[in-house]
Amino acid sequence: MKILIVSDTWRPQINGVVRTLEMTERELGRLGHETRIVGPEADRWATLAVPFYPEIKLELFSRRRLARVFDDFAPEHVHIATEGPLGMAGRRICLKRGIPFNTAYHTRFPEYLAARVPKPLAVAMSAVTYAVLRWFHRPATEVLVATASMQRELAAHGFERLACWSRGVDLEQFQLYGKDLPAFAGLPRPILIYVGRLAIEKNLRGFLSLRTLGSKVVVGDGPDAQLLKHEFSGAHFLGAMSGEPLARAYAAADLFVFPSLSDTFGLVLLEACAAGLRVAATPAPGPLDIFGSDSGVAVLDADLGHAVAGALKLPDDPQIPRAFAQRFTWAACTEQFCDSLRRTRG
């Protein structure tokens, strides 16, 4: 198959959408498919930074450029990954040319936006945003979501033709590297680690304000980085990391803490398990779908402090979470993705 993927978020950005598309592209290549991913051109005059997310660049007025890609590549299948300007342009081209396409719902934008406006406006903002998203996804043959919880949630908001596209973990990259890491030398244990964006929707204060033994380590960057560093000077902020350094940071910690209440999945949860970490999280969509109520590797509790205390009592054997992570393969996820593309052609 010749597959065109249109995404408003792509390298050099570091986030769950980019990671998902990278691994899907890799697995599609192993299956013999030809894939082209079109993301924003960072140096184009109409590429602008997103308010509150300066590391994310959106390309405006992209329809002509994208139309040339359609003409040159002549895709057999089209996937529109995001609802930004590039996604809008791809949607418009497909509708104008009668090309069927599927889409994906990666980010809970209504909740993210509601968190940034005064509470009296939050309900109205959420309703308007959901209406726009329903309009965007309505022509898609299928709307791919990562978990059963998100399927139920979006169905309740009036979305149709929802299908599952789960997530995996790169077991070659995230391994049991051991606890010896220079960056952690001298830190009191247990070392509690968070990996992800430093932004309001991630509920970092819920983690950093906990009274716990040991040390708190934060890996990542984002719009709240400087504010959090100033407010929580006792925590250790390592900045953004990727590749083997990130995998070694996971493995050298003792517990992964996931305070987010709004993620649709949480790839970092599987990465932490693959590196041998137990997990403490809230029972939000994502953690609840991944771990259920009795995984043996995670404790979910609306009180994050209780979740941390409970998770630290789980067996401290890195092989147990590692074995759990091995259930989630990108090969299986990519088969789901391909099945959906095939259904777009009937």
Residue 43 predicted with pLDDT over 90: no
In angstroms, rounded to a whole number, what is the distance separating the alpha carbons of residues 300 and 283?
5
Distance set, CA 125 to CA 117, 119, 141 (Å): 8, 10, 27
pLDDT at 25: 98
Compute φ and ψ for 298, nearest 5 degrees: -145, 150
In angstroms, rounded to a whole number, what is the distance separating the alpha carbons of residues 72 and 51?
33
- Percent of the chain scoring above 70 in pLDDT: 98
Give residue 48's pLDDT band: very low, low, confident or very high (50, 70, 90). Answer: confident
Q: What counts of helices (H) and strands (E) characterise the chain?
A: 14, 14
pLDDT at 123: 82
CATH of domain 2-168+329-344: 3.40.50.2000
CATH 3.40.50.2000 domain residues, the chain: 2-168+329-344, 182-325
Can you give the pTM of this predicted structure? 0.92
Beta-carbon contacts of residue 72 (< 8 Å; ≥ 6 apart): none
Encode pLDDT of 241-268 as tens digits. 999 999 999 999 999 999 998 888 999 9
Residue 133 predicted with pLDDT over 70: yes
Distance set, CA 273 to CA 96, 128, 206, 308 (Å): 45, 37, 21, 15
CA 63 to chain CA mean position, Å: 26
Residue 204 predicted with pLDDT over 70: yes
In angstroms, rounded to a whole number, what is the distance separating the alpha carbons of residues 79 and 101?
6
CATH of domain 182-325: 3.40.50.2000
Encode pLDDT of 54-93 as tens digits. 667 788 889 999 999 999 999 999 999 999 999 999 999 9
In angstroms, rounded to a whole number, what is the distance separating the alpha carbons of residues 298 and 313?
10
